[in-house]
Amino acid sequence: MIVIKEVNNYRERKNFLDFPNKLYKGNPCYTPPLYADEKSIFTKKNVYYDTCESVFFNAYEGKTHVGRIQGIIQHASNQKMGEVRARFTRFDCLNNQEAAAKLFDAVEGWAKSKGCVAICGPLGFSDLEREGLLIEGFSWNNTFEEQYNHPYYQKLIEAQGYQKETDWVEFRLFKPEKNQKITRIKELVMQKYELRLATAKNTRDFLKRYQDGIFYVLDEGYKELYGTVPFTDRMKKQLVSQFNLLIKLDYVGAILDKKDNVVAFGLCFPSIGDALAGGNGKLTPRTLAKLLKVIKNPKHLDLALIAVLPKYRNLGVNSIVLDGLINLMHEKDIEYCETNLNLEDNYPIQSQWKYFPSVQHKRRRSFIKKLD
* Alpha-carbon span 142 to 131, nearest angstrom: 12
Q: Cα dist. 300→93, 297, 303, 365 in Å?
A: 31, 9, 10, 25
pLDDT band at 157 (very low <50, low <70, confident <90, very high): very high
* Alpha-carbon span 115 to 324, nearest angstrom: 47
CB 34 within 8 A of CB 22: no
* Alpha-carbon span 193 to 308, nearest angstrom: 14
Let me know how long the chain is.
Answer: 372
Judged against a pLDDT cut of 80, whether residue 118 lies above it is answered with: yes
What element of type H or E holds 319? helix 318-331
* Percent of the chain topping pLDDT 70: 99
Judged against a pLDDT cut of 90, whether residue 239 lies above it is answered with: no
- Give the pLDDT score at 79: 93
Judged against a pLDDT cut of 80, whether residue 80 lies above it is answered with: yes
- Give the pLDDT score at 44: 86
Mention every residue, 6+ apart, whose C-beta is less than 8 A from residue 333: 299
Q: Minimum mean pLDDT among 57-71, 122-136, 291-305: which range?
A: 291-305
Q: Region 68-85: what's the mean pLDDT?
A: 95
Amino acid at 174: F
Query: Is the CA virtual torsion 71, 75, 76, 81 positive or negative?
Result: positive
The mean of the pLDDT values for the chain is: 94
Amino acid at 230: P
Half-sphere exposure of 39 (CA within 13 A, CB side): 9
What element of type H or E holds 296? helix 285-296
- Quickly count: other Cβ atoms within 10 Å of residue 134's Cβ: 24
Judged against a pLDDT cut of 90, whether residue 292 lies above it is answered with: no
Q: How do strand 358-370 and strand 133-136 relate by DSSP bridges?
A: antiparallel
Amino acid at 337: C
Q: Region 201-209: what's the mean pLDDT?
A: 91
Judged against a pLDDT cut of 80, whether residue 197 lies above it is answered with: yes
* Alpha-carbon span 367 to 320, nearest angstrom: 35
* Alpha-carbon span 8 to 258, nearest angstrom: 54
Judged against a pLDDT cut of 70, whether residue 245 lies above it is answered with: no
* Alpha-carbon span 23 to 87, nearest angstrom: 23
**Burial track 165-186 (b if 16+ CB lie within 10 A, e otherwise):** bbbbbbbbbebbeebeebbebb
Half-sphere exposure of 336 (CA within 13 A, CB side): 13
Amino acid at 146: E
The reported pTM is: 0.94
Judged against a pLDDT cut of 90, whether residue 241 lies above it is answered with: no
Residue 119 DSSP symbol? E
* Of 353, 261, 262, 339, nearest in space to 308 by CA: 262
pLDDT band at 190 (very low <50, low <70, confident <90, very high): very high
CB 234 within 8 A of CB 50: yes
CB 358 within 8 A of CB 99: no
Mention every residue, 6+ apart, whose C-beta is less than 8 A from residue 224: none
